[in-house]
Chain A
Amino acid sequence: MVKFIAEYQVLIFALVKILIMLGFFLNLAPVLVFVERRQAALIQDRVGPNRAVVKVPGFLLKGALATPALLAGVAVAALCFKFFPANPPETGVGRGFWMAELATLVLWSHALVLAGYVRVSGDAANPLEAALRDMRDPRWIFYTGGFLHLALGVLYGASSPANEAEVSKAFALGGPAALAGVLLLVAAYLGYRIPSGTVELRAAGLLHSIADALKFAFKEDFVPPKADKLLHSLGPLISLFPALVTYAIIPFGDALCFGTTNGALDVTKLAETASTVGACAEGQQAVSLQIADLNIGVLYLFAMGGTGIIGAALAGWSSDNKWSLLGGLRAASQMVSYEVAMGLSLVGAFMVYGTPRLGEMVRWQAENTWGIFVQPLAFFLFFAAAIAEQKRTPFDAPEGESEIIAGYFVEYSSFKFAMFYTGEYIELVTSSALLVTIFLGGWTMPFLHRDAVHVAFGDTVLLHSQMSHLVATLLGVGIFFGKVLSMSFFQIFLRWTLPRFRYDQIMAFGWKFMLPAVIANIVLTGLLVLGASSAGPSVASGLRLAADATGFIVIGASAFLAVKFARLLLSPVERARFTSSGVAARVGRVGRTPETPMQA
């Protein structure tokens, strides 16, 4: 087995990486379809997708929900108490502290959810739930939780040399015990509270995506009688193709470094710490978390992405339908136009980063600053061009429902339609991943280095905490996928915000605004890069400081958003009242809507 792995490890690594990316992208497509509908419903304050329902036997649901908590609790207890004596005391204490904090978090968040549930449904199964239901303001649960968090922190930080031993001991033992206890409690409560009968599971409308997928698979595949059969079938294939190959060059994490045996990479020897310069230390071999590290880098992406035009144009042409022909024409001309601006908008980034390879671009950003700070104009231009390439609002004239029904895929049904649709959403994820990689620092965060969290401004070090290589890399992978998710989420917001451009406006915008703007960006960037590289060391150190400052800007902005979010969560309900006249007034007087018999 080991020999087999050693022999084919390159292949195995490639397969694993492909599986990770394919899994992420393909699963995200239906999830984004759901997100899009749910977002629309919640923005416009309507019900949204909620009809799809599966009837699950209660014991299955109990098992599915309680087992993870049960397993986690048992695992925490087993791991901590079995391996505790082997740990050096400090890590034991630190771990104990974090576990205590986590236990508090789990406790108050679950209490909040439970309170929300009993307050809506009104049926309390025991005195505790009754108390939760009748308490005046459930926000106190949150405040209490926050207070507990703080108290724990104070307790942990305030240990004086006199009582340090006791505090350490208390945390090292109490933390894991509390976490395991809370998790087991949650598991037990879930088992107790989930009804045993059949439960109707709606999952906030997520099931609609599954229902849609089933329908796509089983519906009739209709081809118009006079359509060109071959091209009609080829259209969706060609459209889906770029979506399925472009993520091959997107790096989703930093390189993993392994030790070597006889000059060959040895999977069992994962490096403990990473070198801070270059990819890996001397005598180590890197496994880059990127399916293919091509030397043409992002150009491959443009080459592949460009083929999507052919798919749309073919579909429009071969359908034997004037709407689809118009849609295909619009799609082709729009994509060709914006391809130009999209490619040129990255030339500035090439100049700054000095490479077309995405992995190296991210490394540059890790060492200096995020791309959005050095190429702000290019960021917006690339963003706009990417949306136009995906044919999404406000650039969705090729499928303008009100003018040409659904454009080039008007004559497509069942799985061929699903291919267009999936391709579109995967492209959304790909463009988010590209934006994140080129402009938003990829898998990096400010102050998060390959070996440590290191907060510094100029030469002043404010915080330094060491991390192992594996943890740092995994954190980076998580950060990358998190950023891609938020970016996709944000792109969907655009769809519900902006109205569609008219077709001539799209063309004018592309050729008369985007093109001059990207060329101006290239010239400006060229001048600045030349100036910065020929200026003296004082300018260089000034730029260094500015780069550090951008790190604080990112962290500050994130903190600002987090505070805003917390404030929103705590804000009271303010409901506009329209009860002054009409039906609402009558309902207000009577106290309920009038009874209307179900009649024909």
Chain B
Amino acid sequence: MGNGIIGKPIPRPSRDAKVQAYLPSVVAGIGVTVKHFFKNTKELAFGQRNDPVLEAFDDGVTTISYPEQKRPYPERFRGVHRLTLREDGNPRCVACLCCSTACPAQCIHIVAGEYADADKKGWEKYPVSFVIDELRCIFCGYCVEACPCDAIRMDTGQHAVPYDSRDQFIYERETLMSFSDPSGRQLTENPKDDPARGHTPDRLKH
């Protein structure tokens, strides 16, 4: 046997007849709530205290009255995803499935396809369908990390808004391609991995 658990003895709460009968304590408790309610209501109604709603808009009050006031998100805030575009308006995504493989929530679904004029373009694969379920997404950002050509980014600065139904949270390829970063750019920030711009990495050259 060990030493057992040593604890600090705490006196039992008093269990006299008044407490055990329950009803007197209930009545006393109701008295307290009723008193607070009427007192606070009266002071609010008679203007004997500040109106907390109006007060929240005053200068120097650090509480933000969402949605009238909004705090800007930090630059590296992970918002809803966007698919970056090439200059010709096609998605930069080459449907390599790295993001959907990396995604811990398994909420990305991609169907890969091939351009007919792949030779002329310089790249051949593209996502025929690219779907992210923003309800399942945990906004970890792994997809962005995994992408080899900066095709998926989370720099929209927007959070997912509450929609009426679940299917509205399932973002299709066109939706994702329509988003931009806060400055309105739909292209990528670092074009270095784009074969079309002659920056094809050595390892990709034949």
Cα separation A120 to B49 with both chains bound (whole Å): 8
Cα separation A281 to B167 with both chains bound (whole Å): 67
A573 close to B165 (CB less than 8 A):
no
Residues of B within 8 A of A219 (CB): 164-165
Question: What is the CB-to-nearest-CB distance from B47 to chain A, in angstroms, rounded to a whole number?
Answer: 4
B53 close to A50 (CB less than 8 A):
yes
Question: What is the CB-to-nearest-CB distance from B40 to chain A, in angstroms, rounded to a whole number?
Answer: 4
Question: What is the CB-to-nearest-CB distance from B21 to chain A, in angstroms, rounded to a whole number?
Answer: 11
Which parts of A299-355 form the interface with B (CB within 8 Å)? none
B47 close to A120 (CB less than 8 A):
yes
Contact with A along B150-194 (1 / 0, CB 8 A): 000000000000001111000000000000000000000000000
B29 close to A593 (CB less than 8 A):
no
Which parts of B23-42 form the interface with A (CB within 8 Å)? 23, 26, 29-30, 32-34, 36-42
Decide: A498 near B53, CB < 8 A? Known: A116-B45, A593-B60. no
Contact with B along A546-579 (1 / 0, CB 8 A): 0000000000000000000100110101010000
Question: What is the CB-to-nearest-CB distance from A42 to chain B, in angstroms, rounded to a whole number?
Answer: 4
Contact of B62 among A116, A119, A573, A596 (CB under 8 A): A596
Q: What is the chain A residue whose CB lies nearest that of B76?
A: A600
Q: Cβ of A45 < 8 Å from any Cβ of B?
A: yes
Contact of A573 among B37, B43, B52, B69 (CB under 8 A): B43
B52 close to A493 (CB less than 8 A):
no
Could you tell me how many residues of chain B have their Cβ less than 8 Å away from some Cβ of chain A?
A: 41
Q: Cβ of B19 < 8 Å from any Cβ of A?
A: no
Contact of B52 among A47, A120, A218 (CB under 8 A): A47
Q: Cβ of B115 < 8 Å from any Cβ of A?
A: no
Decide: A222 near B166, CB < 8 A? Known: A120-B51, A595-B59. yes
Q: Cβ of B140 < 8 Å from any Cβ of A?
A: no
Cα separation A116 to B49 with both chains bound (whole Å): 11
Q: What is the chain B residue whose CB lies nearest that of A219?
A: B164
Chain A contact surface mostly: loop
Residues of B within 8 A of A493 (CB): 30, 33-34, 37
Question: What is the CB-to-nearest-CB distance from B152 to chain A, in angstroms, rounded to a whole number?
Answer: 23
Q: Cβ of A189 < 8 Å from any Cβ of B?
A: no
Cα separation A120 to B37 with both chains bound (whole Å): 20
Residues of A within 8 A of B164 (CB): 218-220
A39 close to B37 (CB less than 8 A):
yes
A498 close to B51 (CB less than 8 A):
no
Cα separation A515 to B39 with both chains bound (whole Å): 39
Residues of A within 8 A of B61 (CB): 593
Contact with B along A491-515 (1 / 0, CB 8 A): 0011011100000000000000000
Contact with A along B68-90 (1 / 0, CB 8 A): 01011111000000000000000
Q: Cβ of A592 < 8 Å from any Cβ of B?
A: yes
Q: What is the chain A residue whose CB lies nearest that of B168?
A: A220
Cα separation A575 to B62 with both chains bound (whole Å): 23
Question: What is the CB-to-nearest-CB distance from A317 to chain B, in angstroms, rounded to a whole number?
Answer: 24
Q: Cβ of B48 < 8 Å from any Cβ of A?
A: yes
Decide: A42 near B36, CB < 8 A? Known: A116-B45, A120-B47, A120-B51. yes
Cα separation A50 to B56 with both chains bound (whole Å): 12
Residues of A within 8 A of B167 (CB): 220
Cα separation A497 to B49 with both chains bound (whole Å): 24
Total number of residue pairs linking A and B with CB closer than 8 Å: 81
A497 close to B30 (CB less than 8 A):
yes
Contact with B along A106-119 (1 / 0, CB 8 A): 00000000001101
B52 close to A497 (CB less than 8 A):
no
Cα separation A600 to B64 with both chains bound (whole Å): 12
Residues of B within 8 A of A498 (CB): 26, 29
Q: Cβ of A527 < 8 Å from any Cβ of B?
A: no
Cα separation A218 to B72 with both chains bound (whole Å): 30
A42 close to B41 (CB less than 8 A):
yes
B30 close to A119 (CB less than 8 A):
no
Q: Cβ of B44 < 8 Å from any Cβ of A?
A: yes
Cα separation A41 to B124 with both chains bound (whole Å): 61
Residues of B within 8 A of A573 (CB): 43, 48-49
Decide: A568 near B39, CB < 8 A? Known: A120-B51, A493-B33, A573-B49. yes
Cα separation A592 to B48 with both chains bound (whole Å): 19
Q: Cβ of A598 < 8 Å from any Cβ of B?
A: yes
Question: What is the CB-to-nearest-CB distance from A111 to chain B, in angstroms, rounded to a whole number?
Answer: 13
Decide: A380 near B37, CB < 8 A? Known: A220-B164, A592-B60. no
B60 close to A45 (CB less than 8 A):
no
B33 close to A220 (CB less than 8 A):
no
B71 close to A598 (CB less than 8 A):
yes
Q: What is the chain A residue whose CB lies nearest that of B61?
A: A593
A496 close to B33 (CB less than 8 A):
yes
Residues of A within 8 A of B52 (CB): 46-47, 50
Q: Cβ of A594 < 8 Å from any Cβ of B?
A: yes
Question: What is the CB-to-nearest-CB distance from A491 to chain B, in angstroms, rounded to a whole number?
Answer: 11
Q: Cβ of A56 < 8 Å from any Cβ of B?
A: no
A202 close to B34 (CB less than 8 A):
no
Contact of A43 among B23, B37, B74, B166 (CB under 8 A): B37
Cα separation A138 to B29 with both chains bound (whole Å): 32
A494 close to B62 (CB less than 8 A):
no
Residues of B within 8 A of A222 (CB): 166
B73 close to A598 (CB less than 8 A):
no
Residues of B within 8 A of A46 (CB): 52
Question: What is the CB-to-nearest-CB distance from B107 to chain A, in angstroms, rounded to a whole number?
Answer: 17
B60 close to A594 (CB less than 8 A):
yes
B47 close to A116 (CB less than 8 A):
yes
Question: What is the CB-to-nearest-CB distance from A595 to chain B, in angstroms, rounded to a whole number?
Answer: 5
Residues of B within 8 A of A202 (CB): 53
A568 close to B34 (CB less than 8 A):
no
Decide: A43 near B165, CB < 8 A? Known: A493-B30, A595-B60, A598-B64. no
Cα separation A498 to B12 with both chains bound (whole Å): 21
Residues of A within 8 A of B41 (CB): 42
Cα separation A526 to B164 with both chains bound (whole Å): 59
20 A-B pairs with C-beta separation under 8 A: A45-B40, A46-B52, A47-B56, A116-B47, A117-B47, A120-B47, A219-B164, A219-B165, A220-B165, A220-B166, A493-B34, A493-B37, A497-B26, A497-B33, A498-B26, A568-B38, A593-B61, A596-B62, A598-B69, A600-B73
Chain B: residues with CB nearer than 8 A to chain A? 23, 26, 29-30, 32-34, 36-49, 51-53, 56, 59-62, 64, 67, 69, 71-75, 164-167
State the 6 A-B residue pairs at the shortest beta-carbon distance, nearest first.
A220-B165, A120-B47, A600-B74, A593-B60, A47-B52, A116-B47
Chain A: residues with CB nearer than 8 A to chain B? 39, 42-47, 50-51, 116-117, 119-120, 138, 202, 218-220, 222, 380, 493-494, 496-498, 565, 568-569, 571, 573, 575, 592-596, 598, 600
- A218-B164, A569-B42, A594-B60 given; 9 more Cβ-contact pairs under 8 Å: A42-B37, A220-B164, A220-B166, A493-B37, A497-B29, A498-B29, A568-B39, A573-B49, A600-B75
